[in-house]
Structure 1
Amino acid sequence: MIIKKFQAETEKEAILMAKEELGKDAIVTNIKTIKPKGIYKFFRPSKVEITAAVDDTVNYEEDSLLSSFQKLINENQSNKQTETRKERVIEKQIDKDENLFVDVKSTYSSEIEKRLDSLQNLIEKQIKPTQENATLSIEEDKSNENEYIKLIYKQMLINEVDEKYANQIINEIEATLQKGASVDTVLTSIYQKIVLKLGQPETIELGEKKTKFVFFIGPTGVGKTTTIAKIASGFKMNKNTKMALVTSDTYRIAAVEQLRIYANILGVPLKVIYSADEMSQTKEEFEDYDIVLIDTAGRSHKNSEQKDDLEALLGTVDDSMKEIYLVLSATTKYKDLVRITETYSTIANYRIIFTKLDETICMGNILNVKMMTGSPLSYVAWGQNVPNDIGRLDAQFVAKKLLGGSD
């Protein structure tokens, strides 16, 4: 894992520097403003410092060579073209990271060390230097380092991270740590590794010209209908998007009526369908809309016939026009989540939404499912308030919780 800091006049410039040096897979893990000290604060503007990280599996050398080659090409073009291209790259990256529901900048503004103070203090209290007035030998340093890792590993298990994935993270970190690493180094390295494993959340993006059909799938009782209402409200209130709602959940009259109430409040059409054929007709009916959110019936992962019906429904829309979100509850047992995700394994390219975060104190399942499926994480939801109780997954927040950090 490679971790570097970059300073620039603006946040956009700092992100561009990180992407150019570390490659497109670099993830921004911390942003802070650096103000000049002393008398210089009256004459010099503040700077922005970002911390960016990239996993060891990323071909860092190749990205650097490509970046250098790109610079040589840029030098042969006019300054105006170069500046225009850079602005577009910056805008594309920043727009991709925009949060429809929460302020990302405020989420990522705190220092890593500050956010993990509670766990670091716990470790430092439990591990005492064996020689208070002497320099530790390499063997003693290594012993302390192992104790740090054991405590952090235990903390991950307490927060219900599966042993397999906890061991994987620890093994990857141990392979890169220098001898005698401090508790701060060990903790920060594991924290950064978890953030990288969780990845960047992928949320709904509107098509430039085509209608976007968004399907919400998942087992019963996870809160799909409420989640759709929250997302629909966000698009309607914040972007005044031309949208429609569709439900195939005709097994539960209450679910249809609940969505109908939200549709009336938002002033958007609602279509109730009973088969894949009706979905094909509905697609033509809403072809001039920006986005269509589709609620599906909560299927049992044990019922193969219901799964076939769902796949037929999803097959009515071309891949280029649809997005699929698997809605899961953070309170579901991990063994059940394994079976659920296996049921939906034949459905490619789905993203994951976790609901009911307010009903659990352990977030290990978020990391477990991400590492098990490899599917991108997306939104997280908590509570019943529409449209407030939803947001993009915050990888830093989840990593902090898994390591025992407080809110």
Structure 2
Amino acid sequence: MDFVKIRGKDLQDCIMQMKMKYGPEAHIYDQRVTTEGGLFGTGLLASKMYEIDVGIPEKQNSKDRIEKKLKDLKELIKQKQKTDSLVPANEKKVAKTIEAVRPYSERRRRAAVMERMEPIVIDDDDYELESSLKPYHAEEQIGLSLANVSEIHEKPSISREIPQVSVPKRHSNIEKLSERLKSEGMSASYAEEITQVLEEHLSSVDASRFATVCEKAISILESRITIDSDLFSGTPRGKRKVVFFVGPTGAGKTTSIAKLAAKYSLHMGKKVSLYTTDNYRIAAIDQLKFYADAMGMPFYAAKDVRKLKEAVARDGSELILVDTAGYSHKNPDNILKLREFYQAFGDKDYLENILVLSSTISSANARSVADAYETIGYKRILLTKLDEAEYLGSVVELADTIHREFAFCSVGQDVPFDILNASKKLLAECVVYPEKLKGIAGEVFDKTT
């Protein structure tokens, strides 16, 4: 079963797209309502979109069809041989009837020819058959009946009678793109999955143009990428949002938090507080405190759960951003220590973890990190260091296969500007055209008056 996502302006639009693209066999297994756009990521004036997950039965490949046809043909030949061997003797008169209607002169000529023929010996590795052709007599039967020659039934040579059918080769442009995706960090299995979808949706004319192949690949990747760039997303009315930014050392958590604090405080007018539970790196504490002082927002360095709880009780902010220590993903005990700090927050708080992941990380390490932080739970990824990355195929594949959303993309060290809301089109284009990573610029905004 293959799975795809379809988006539309309403549920009926999504269903019509599903029927037109994938036929009556496709079915819906999940549906949701999402928002897109809005003023500065606030959701204000955002357009409502419908999204459905569609299951598509896998089609039988050409190799399976060929093998089935060969098997059916063999069965038909066997049945024909059995039928011929069971024909009664009184029905074997076809050859004699044909000879009886030949003109007399023609029968005499054929008899004269057969009188002059020499005996014929047929030699084979398994058997020897020797026979002489005798002069023709009118009462004799001419021809060879399958029922009278047992050797024909004993050694049928089916494989030599059926021509080999070759599977059509994949178009060179599609194969070229597949090799490019694999060379840029995407796994062979995921690249093959994308390539198969490409083949199903490209005509031979479209496949002959490499630019068209690339644009279709971008469209397919867009349908597999999910985003949510609102930190308040999913927060119940009347509750304060608390976001823990988790991830390995060096991923870029501290600078990313400073950028988001500026975005939501200076640009969107929200009351924001900064916290850190990192008691190991003094430089990281000083750095976050410097940003908080520069933007005029509260900052708390929590040494333990009790101190954190006291600070939270006095805090009147709408949004709390928490920087955490970078633990090795190979030590799950350290990661589980983060849960201790959750106890400092009460019923009025809505907590969420966002995994901060560097886009320069190898595909194997990215998978290990994602699996390790699964123990504390997260649904969104903040992707950093896009300006340093060579390609994004592996991280886009990871998010798709573990069903996680992208929240933001950090594209440099400049605080507060070098951060962007995650974009399906941008990420998909950077996978197919990695040279676009070098030209990504940060967000530009003015301070809210």
Which interval holds the TM-score relative to the shorter structure? 0.5 to 0.7
* Deviations 1:126-182 (CA, angstroms, capped at 9, x unpaired): xxxxxxxxxxxxx9xx65x521210110121222122222122223333x3366351
Q: CA RMSD in A?
A: 3.9
SS at match of 2:177: helix
Distance 1:56 1:205 in 2: 36
> Is the contact between residue 2 and residue 56 of structure 1 (CA under 8 Å) also seen in structure 2?
no
- Partner letter of residue 308 of structure 2? M
How do residues 97-116 of structure 1 correspond to structure 2 at under 5 angstroms?
Answer: 98-100=39-41
Decide which structure has the larger Cα Rg and report it.
2
Is 1:290 paired with 2:356? no
| Candidates 310, 313, 320, aligned match of 1:281 | 310
Distance 1:362 1:178 in 2: 25
| Candidates 198, 201, 226, aligned match of 2:228 | 201
> Is the contact between residue 202 and residue 376 of structure 1 (CA under 8 Å) also seen in structure 2?
no
Give the match for residue 168 of structure 1.
193
Q: TM-score, normalised by structure 1?
A: 0.65
State the 1:295 CA deviation. 0.4
State the 1:343 CA deviation. 0.9
- Partner letter of residue 180 of structure 1? S
Identity %: 25
How do residues 180-191 of structure 1 correspond to structure 2 at under 5 angstroms?
Answer: 180=204, 182-183=206-207, 186-191=213-218
SS at match of 1:374: coil
* Deviations 1:58-97 (CA, angstroms, capped at 9, x unpaired): x98769xx9xxxxxxxxxxxxxxxxxxxxxx9xx8345x5
Unpaired segments ≥5 residues, structure 1: 5-14, 27-51, 67-88, 106-138
- Partner letter of residue 155 of structure 1? R
Q: Which has the higher contact order (CA 8 A, sep 6+)?
A: 1
Distance 1:172 1:316 in 2: 48
Q: CA distance change for structure 1 residues 405 and 385 in 2, over 3 Å: closer, same or farther?
A: closer
Is 1:192 paired with 2:216? no
SS at match of 1:255: helix
Give the match for residue 408 of structure 2.
379
SS at match of 1:214: strand
> Is the contact between residue 202 and residue 351 of structure 1 (CA under 8 Å) also seen in structure 2?
no
| Candidates 255, 262, 273, aligned match of 1:226 | 255
Distance 1:252 1:168 in 2: 43
Give the match for residue 309 of structure 1.
337
Distance 2:420 2:404 in 1: 18
Q: CA distance change for structure 1 residues 23 and 241 in 2, over 3 Å: closer, same or farther?
A: farther
State the 1:333 CA deviation. 1.5
- Partner letter of residue 205 of structure 1? F
SS at match of 2:201: coil
Give the match for residue 247 of structure 1.
276
Q: CA distance change for structure 1 residues 165 and 282 in 2, over 3 Å: closer, same or farther?
A: farther
State the 1:327 CA deviation. 0.4
Give the match for residue 177 of structure 1.
201
> Is the contact between residue 363 and residue 395 of structure 2 (CA under 8 Å) also seen in structure 1?
no
- Partner letter of residue 193 of structure 1? I
State the 1:19 CA deviation. 5.8
* Deviations 1:241-261 (CA, angstroms, capped at 9, x unpaired): 111111011101111111111
Is 1:393 paired with 2:417? no
* Deviations 1:348-388 (CA, angstroms, capped at 9, x unpaired): 23310111111122112321221232111111102110111
State the 1:336 CA deviation. 1.2
Give the match for residue 265 of structure 1.
294
How do residues 59-208 of structure 1 correspond to structure 2 at under 5 angstroms?
Answer: 93-94=35-36, 98-100=39-41, 143=169, 146-174=171-199, 176-177=200-201, 180=204, 182-183=206-207, 186-205=213-232, 207=235, 208=237
Is 1:327 paired with 2:351? no
Give the paired residue count.
306
